[in-house]
């Protein structure tokens, strides 16, 4: 087992909705290790996205403790969280969230220009297979291509982990497989932690570990001794 | 239910709707307040004119037997003619440093249909032979006088006591200026006294049974010019100085121009504000329809008709337009009375208040609602085109590709990624960029123009009193006198260092069919106290055989340098009309004069070496000692019938400045309007950008950008447009200033058409400040942006 990257202790998240308090996380204990690919599975409303948002510094826990190394994320202010996101986290969304008026290259550059130790944009574009599309705008790219740009953008900052929220949710099988291959290769080649949140249970077979969430709690954690390659995933 | 949805939508985006509402409010406040103000002033004027039988024509003479008045009144076209004696006297007030003047205007108590009759506001009727007078109300108030009090005046070389029996006002003196060099009435030092005609002969024994001023009304349909032609030959023998119609009467001109100015402002300003507010609403509704595309689809799927959907979106316009219209209109009505009172400080008219005006309230409401419905319809008409199924699908992603600016390699290379995004957004939302550009340009132009106007007024007073007129005091004679003897006499006085003569003669200049009555100033060629300056402020020596004209006079007579014009004066002996060449045209900001070398004017008068006033340099090392010596000089001539008064230049400079400062506050209102416009435009456009691009902005924050870095994308875009808009605002301000100068310049003063350097610094600064201020609100919104909510949903 490698070093722990994120340690969550009894993390809770609740929202006040009028007079009712809604609990999204009811005490999550969970550790994320360096260089692993983790798939988080669970039905709708189980707290997957909330957990990802909290780990990614987009949201804060209502109770409990969450550490990134020495950094106590549960106590961090918005400025600290901003710099945590800037330096340590790469995000991939279901709907890509690319800047519509920036080309593929420029979208990646947007991330590079704020990073301390960025990766080479052209090299990333080659790796995601889009070097010939570098000057295309998002509207000129297919969904799969847009998601690959988003992955390149997420990685370009050279973050410690890549957090992916339903990265294949809007893609067809072939494009989805391509995206999963990229995520796996980055985990291996760049030694980054990759977390994939999904409904798609087929993806769990390529993970090093699978975390099952249910009703805002970790139901179980499975270690996959022999993860399959992304090409073999099917749905 | 849809009303509830609309209200919640508005509340959810209250900042932008509020910015829109503020503009409607300002527009409607200006519309109702200024319309009522203009009505109040017009009605007051009309009632006053009718009630006091205000003249259609005015005649100034040297002197004429009173019995001839009756003959003249029978001239064809004249309805009623009154003969009067008008004389200016000095008040004997040893306790006061400055000279105080009273213009005595006779009232013929035997004439029941007196033209330009005075209106008695308080006190008793005048009695002939009792040396009593009605004093004008402004002078009465400004000097803290009381009824029954006596005023000592120096008339006919003697001190007389005039008893104040009443306080009155006349339509002839609604804006009483002692001379054309004054900007504003100065009731502390100049007033009007209405005196029975027979008392005038007590004050001035040489005027018994004589008049020097005629005022007449015309019969219905009579032509002034025809009457003038008939009057001229009759009056020539009496030293006719001028015959002019009501349209050229000073107070009437000032009052009418003020009413016209307010009237045009009551239309132009509100339209400008409503236009800007309408465009903001148009953009907001267009955006709302794009945002609520799915909801529109749903409504249509439920069975709502196109009409119902459009009416729903028009209800946003209706609500903002109606609220703005009602509140703005009501505020305008409330403000109209205090604003009218403010104006009556300058114009001496018995106020008539129209008070509550349903007409302007309803008109204003209809105006704002119709402009908003028009803008609203164009903003939401896209909702009509959508089919339900199509509406519920997300729209095709917009693609605008590379912008033109990307081809400018060096520029593009300088930009950060945020800069690139900003520049591309400009071309992606061309319509909105153009609106932003126009709005900021107008805002900057309004500030630059008003600031410049303020500077200019300051400058032209400074120019007149510091560069053109450099004497310490001006001694004005009651009648022309032999100049050498008077100069010798004056230079013997211990207070006077040097005296320079000046000859002021009323002349009529004509060119083609154009004619102007002006004062010709005869100045010595080596004058050091009155400088005739060209455009570059170089001194011009007045010539013996040529006229120097002020720019405005040249413009009014349509003459160029080198042209000849006809030149006549009732005071010229022998040759009445002669030709004279225009040798120079010079800028003149205060007044409108012609200039000639002193001896040449004397030559035309053929009455010897004369002067009507003397420009003096007064002994003294400091302003205080000079002021003290001027007071001594005044004391010397306090009881003289020969000297009409002694004016201190420094004193007039200071007074004019002070008076203008009170008026100058209006300028800051326009600056405020400019700031509000700039603020509202940036504020609302920022919020539209926020709602439209929250996803992009949130994505950047997720990447790890700070709110300030994200904010810079929006501000870069706004500053980029604003920079060019502010640059474009300067030529627009220049054009507005030219138009304004042309509109506002009168024979009394010429407003220069140029922008001042200071305004070119201040206007961009103020516009920039209003933009910066509006952006602060945007920053706080970005800081509160919920990344999760924005990014979770599909666009």
Tell me, yes or no, whether B75 and B90 share the same domain.
Answer: yes
- Number of separate domains in chain B: 3
- Whether the pLDDT of residue B3 is over 60: the answer is yes
- Residue B767 falls within a domain, yes or no? no
More confident residue, B385 or B136: B136
Looking at residue B543, the DSSP 8-state letter turns out to be P
Tell me, yes or no, whether B614 and B515 share the same domain.
Answer: yes
Cβ contact B767:A67 at 8 Å: no
98-117 in chain A: CB under 8 A from chain B: 98-102, 106, 109-111, 113-115
Given pLDDT bands bounded at 50, 70 and 90, which one contains residue B666?
low
B428 to chain A: closest CA residue = A101
Quote the pLDDT of residue B662: 60
Tell me, yes or no, whether B495 and B631 share the same domain.
Answer: yes
Mean pLDDT, range B213-239, rounded to an integer: 91
| B601 burial level (CB within 10 Å; 0-12, 13-18, 19+) | buried
Q: Which of B348, B365, B396 is the last residue of a domain?
A: B396
Q: Quick: pLDDT tens for B293-334.
A: 877 876 776 677 778 888 888 888 899 889 989 999 999 998
Cβ distance of A114 and B397 shorter than 8 Å: no
Q: Quick: pLDDT tens for B555-598.
A: 889 999 999 888 877 666 555 567 888 999 998 887 788 999 98
- Residue B181 falls within a domain, yes or no? yes
State whether CATH 3.40.50.300 applies to domain A33-60+83-232. yes
CA separation for the pair B102, B454 (Å, rounded): 31
771-790 in chain B: CB under 8 A from chain A: 783, 787-788
- Site from B703, B706, B708 to mutate, A interface, most A CB atoms within 10 angstroms: B703
Mean pLDDT, range B741-753, rounded to an integer: 76
Lateral strand order in the sheet of A37-41: A89-92, A161-165, A193-198, A37-41, A209-214, A217-223
CA separation for the pair B313, B318 (Å, rounded): 9
Tell me, yes or no, whether B222 and B331 share the same domain.
Answer: no
Quote the pLDDT of residue B143: 92
Between strands B593-597 and B514-523, the pairing is: parallel
> What are the two backbone dihedrals, phi and then psi, of residue B191, each rounded to the nearest 5 degrees?
-145, 175
Question: Which of B399, B699, B783 shows the shortest C-beta gap to A139?
Answer: B399
- Residue B25 falls within a domain, yes or no? yes
Cβ contact B544:B489 at 8 Å: no
Q: For chain A, what is the radius of gyration of the CA atoms?
A: 17
Q: A47 touching B, CB under 8 A?
A: no
Tell me, yes or no, whether B477 and B560 share the same domain.
Answer: yes
Containing structural domain, residue B334: 1-55+263-396
Tell me, yes or no, whether B579 and B556 share the same domain.
Answer: yes
Tell me, yes or no, whether B161 and B296 share the same domain.
Answer: no
Tell me, yes or no, whether B644 and B534 share the same domain.
Answer: yes
Given pLDDT bands bounded at 50, 70 and 90, which one contains residue B105?
very high
Q: How many distinct helices (H) and strands (E) make up chain A?
A: 6, 10
Distance from CA of A215 to the nearest CA of B (A): 20
Q: A188 touching B, CB under 8 A?
A: no
Tell me, yes or no, whether B145 and B165 share the same domain.
Answer: yes
- Residue B714 falls within a domain, yes or no? no
Most confidently modeled of B66-75, B234-243, B304-313?
B66-75
Tell me, yes or no, whether B62 and B51 share the same domain.
Answer: no
Q: Which of B379, B396, B413 is the last residue of a domain?
A: B396
Cβ distance of A86 and B701 shorter than 8 Å: no
Between A and B, how many CB-CB pairs are < 8 A?
A: 84
**Number of Cβ within a 10 Å radius of residue B280:** 28
- Residue B69 falls within a domain, yes or no? yes
> Whose structure tokens read 């100085």?
B241
CA separation for the pair A110, B420 (Å, rounded): 10
Cβ distance of B401 and A82 shorter than 8 Å: no
Tell me, yes or no, whether B30 and B62 share the same domain.
Answer: no
Q: Quick: pLDDT tens for B517-537.
A: 888 899 998 888 999 888 888
B787 to chain A: closest CA residue = A58
Determine the Cα angle at B755 with ends B749 and B756, to 5°: 95
> Whose structure tokens read 């009090």?
B149
Tell me, yes or no, whether B376 and B500 share the same domain.
Answer: no
Q: Which of B224, B253, B282 is the last residue of a domain?
A: B253
CA separation for the pair B263, B335 (Å, rounded): 16
Beta strands in B451-495 (DSSP E): 473-482
Q: A77 touching B, CB under 8 A?
A: no
Question: Which of A49, A91, A95 shows the shortest C-beta gap to B702?
Answer: A91
């Amino acid at each position: 087992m490698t070093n722990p990257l994120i340690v969550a202790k009894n993390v809770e998240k609740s929202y006040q909705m009028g007079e009712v308090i809604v609990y999204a996380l009811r005490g999550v204990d969970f550790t994320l290790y360096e260089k692993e690919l983790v798939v988080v599975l669970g039905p709708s409303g189980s707290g997957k996205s909330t957990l990802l948002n909290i780990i990614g510094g987009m949201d804060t826990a209502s109770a409990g403790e969450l550490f990134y190394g020495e950094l106590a994320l549960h106590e961090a202010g918005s400025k600290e969280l901003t710099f945590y996101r800037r330096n340590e986290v790469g995000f991939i969304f279901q709907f890509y969230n690319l800047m519509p008026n920036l080309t593929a290259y420029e979208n990646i550059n947007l991330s590079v220009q704020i990073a301390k130790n960025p990766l080479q944009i052209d090299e990333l574009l080659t790796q995601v297979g889009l070097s010939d599309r570098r000057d295309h705008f998002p509207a000129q790219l297919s969904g799969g291509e847009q998601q690959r740009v988003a992955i390149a953008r997420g990685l370009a900052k050279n973050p410690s982990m890549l957090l992916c929220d339903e990265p294949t949710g809007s893609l067809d099988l072939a494009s989805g497989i391509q995206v999963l291959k990229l995520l796996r290769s980055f985990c291996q080649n760049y030694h980054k932690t990759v977390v994939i949140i999904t409904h798609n249970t087929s993806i769990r077979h390529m993970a090093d570990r699978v975390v099952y969430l249910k009703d805002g709690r970790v139901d179980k954690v499975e270690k996959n001794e022999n993860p399959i390659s992304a090409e073999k995933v099917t749905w | 239910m849809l009303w509830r949805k609309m209200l919640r939508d508005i509340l959810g985006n209250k900042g932008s709707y509020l910015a829109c509402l503020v503009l409607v409010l300002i527009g409607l406040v200006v519309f109702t307040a200024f319309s009522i103000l203009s009505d109040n002033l017009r009605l007051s004027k009309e009632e006053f004119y009718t009630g006091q039988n205000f003249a259609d024509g005015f005649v100034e003479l040297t002197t004429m037997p009173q019995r001839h008045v009756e003959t003249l009144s029978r001239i064809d076209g004249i309805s009623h003619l009154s003969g009067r004696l008008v004389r200016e006297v000095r008040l004997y007030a040893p306790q006061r440093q400055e000279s105080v003047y009273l213009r005595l205007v006779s009232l013929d108590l035997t004439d029941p249909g007196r033209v330009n009759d005075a209106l008695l506001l308080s006190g008793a009727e005048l009695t002939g032979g009792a040396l009593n007078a009605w004093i004008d109300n402004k002078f009465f108030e400004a000097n803290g006088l009381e009824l029954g009090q006596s005023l000592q005046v120096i008339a006919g070389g003697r001190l007389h006591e005039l008893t104040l029996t009443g306080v009155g006002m006349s339509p002839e003196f609604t804006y009483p200026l002692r001379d054309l060099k004054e900007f504003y009435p100065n009731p502390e030092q100049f007033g009007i006294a209405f005196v029975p005609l027979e008392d005038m002969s007590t004050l001035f024994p040489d005027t018994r049974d004589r008049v020097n001023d005629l005022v007449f009304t015309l019969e219905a349909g009579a032509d002034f010019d025809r009457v003038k032609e008939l009057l001229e030959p009759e009056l020539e023998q009496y030293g006719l100085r001028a015959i002019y119609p009501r349209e050229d009467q000073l107070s009437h001109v000032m009052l009418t121009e003020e009413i016209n100015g307010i009237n045009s402002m009551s239309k132009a300003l509100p339209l400008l504000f409503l236009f800007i507010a309408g465009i903001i609403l148009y953009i907001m509704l267009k955006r709302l329809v794009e945002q609520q595309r799915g909801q529109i689809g749903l409504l249509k799927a439920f069975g709502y008709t196109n009409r119902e959907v459009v009416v729903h979106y028009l209800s946003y316009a209706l609500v903002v337009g109606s609220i703005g219209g009602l509140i703005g209109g009501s505020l305008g009505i409330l403000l109209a009375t205090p604003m009218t009172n403010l104006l009556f400080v300058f114009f001496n008219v018995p106020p008539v208040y129209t008070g509550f005006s349903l007409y302007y309230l309803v008109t204003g409401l209809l105006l704002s609602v119709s402009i908003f419905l028009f803008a609203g319809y164009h903003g939401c008409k896209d909702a009509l085109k959508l089919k339900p199924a199509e509406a519920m699908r997300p729209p095709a992603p917009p693609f605008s590709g590379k912008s033109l600016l990307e081809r400018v390699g060096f520029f593009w290379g300088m930009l950060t990624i945020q800069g690139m995004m900003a520049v591309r957004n400009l071309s992606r939302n061309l319509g909105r960029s153009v609106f932003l550009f126009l709005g900021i340009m107008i805002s900057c132009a309004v500030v630059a123009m008003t600031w410049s106007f303020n500077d200019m007024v300051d400058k032209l007073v400074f120019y007149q009193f510091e560069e053109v007129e450099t004497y310490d005091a001006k001694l004005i004679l009651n009648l022309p006198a032999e100049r050498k003897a008077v100069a010798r006499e004056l230079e013997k006085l211990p207070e006077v260092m040097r005296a320079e003569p000046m000859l002021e003669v009323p002349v009529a200049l004509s060119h083609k069919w154009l004619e102007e009555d002006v004062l010709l100033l005869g100045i010595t060629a080596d004058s050091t106290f009155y400088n005739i300056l060209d455009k570059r402020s170089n001194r011009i020596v007045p010539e013996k055989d040529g006229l120097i004209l002020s720019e405005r006079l040249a413009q009014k007579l349509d003459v160029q340098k080198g042209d000849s014009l006809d030149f006549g004066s009732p005071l010229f002996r022998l040759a009445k009309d002669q030709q004279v060449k225009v040798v120079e045209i010079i800028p003149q900001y205060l007044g409108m004069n012609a200039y000639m070398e002193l001896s040449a004017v004397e030559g035309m008068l053929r009455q010897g070496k004369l002067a009507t006033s003397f420009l003096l340099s007064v002994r003294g090392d400091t302003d205080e000692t000079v002021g003290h010596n001027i007071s001594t000089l005044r004391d010397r001539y306090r009881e003289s019938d020969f000297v009409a008064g002694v004016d201190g230049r420094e004193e007039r400079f200071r007074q004019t400045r002070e008076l203008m400062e009170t008026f100058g506050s209006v300028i800051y209102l326009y600056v405020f309007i400019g700031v509000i416009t700039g603020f509202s435009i940036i504020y609302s456009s920022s919020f539209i950008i926020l709602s439209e691009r929250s996803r992009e902005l949130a994505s950047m924050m997720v990447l790890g950008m700070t709110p300030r870095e994200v904010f810079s994308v929006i501000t870069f875009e706004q500053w980029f447009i604003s920079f060019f808009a502010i640059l474009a605002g300067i030529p627009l301000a220049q054009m507005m200033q030219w138009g304004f100068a042309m509109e506002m310049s009168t024979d009394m003063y010429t407003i220069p058409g140029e922008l001042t350097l200071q305004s070119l610094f201040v206007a961009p600064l103020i516009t920039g400040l209003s933009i910066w201020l509006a952006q602060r609100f945007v920053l706080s919104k970005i800081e509160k942006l919920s990344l999760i909510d924005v990014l979770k949903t599909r666009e």
